[in-house]
Amino acid sequence: MTTFWNAPRLVLNRKHWKVSLIFANGVQLTDNFNIRNIMPEENNKNVKKQENKPNMIALLKPYSGLVIMLIVLALFSNGINLIIPKIIANGIDSYSSGHLIFKT
């Protein structure tokens, strides 16, 4: 006959902050954990810690010249991409109306 090992039962006593393991044969192991030091106290919930949170401006401050140049070049390239189709459209309109004359 095969006997299987029975897993111990875990009992938490929150009133006395005790943890017990109860085995199938009746053996009980109990330990007093100092859980109160691990758990946050209620008084600490109201205290706000002032931490220096990382932000993008502080990170990019050494590269401010490059960032400004990047923004200016991005605006310039977007402007060119908007103007070029207008120039092409005016050329097509001039050619179709007969005002554009090619001399070779």
Question: What distance in Å separates the CA atoms of residue 12 and residue 20, rounded to the nearest whole number?
Answer: 6
Report if residue 102 sits inside a domain. Answer: yes
Q: Reduced to 3 states, what is the DSSP secondary structure of residue 21?
A: strand
Question: What beta strand segments (E) does the chain contain?
Answer: 9-13, 18-22, 28-32
Which tokens go with 37? 């030091």
Q: How many structural domains compose the chain?
A: 2
How confident is the model over 61-103, as pLDDT tens digits?
999 999 999 999 999 999 999 999 999 999 889 888 887 677 7
Q: What is the pLDDT of residue 62?
A: 92
Which tokens go with 104? 């070779």
Report if residue 47 sits inside a domain. Answer: no
Print the domain residue range for 14.
Answer: 7-38
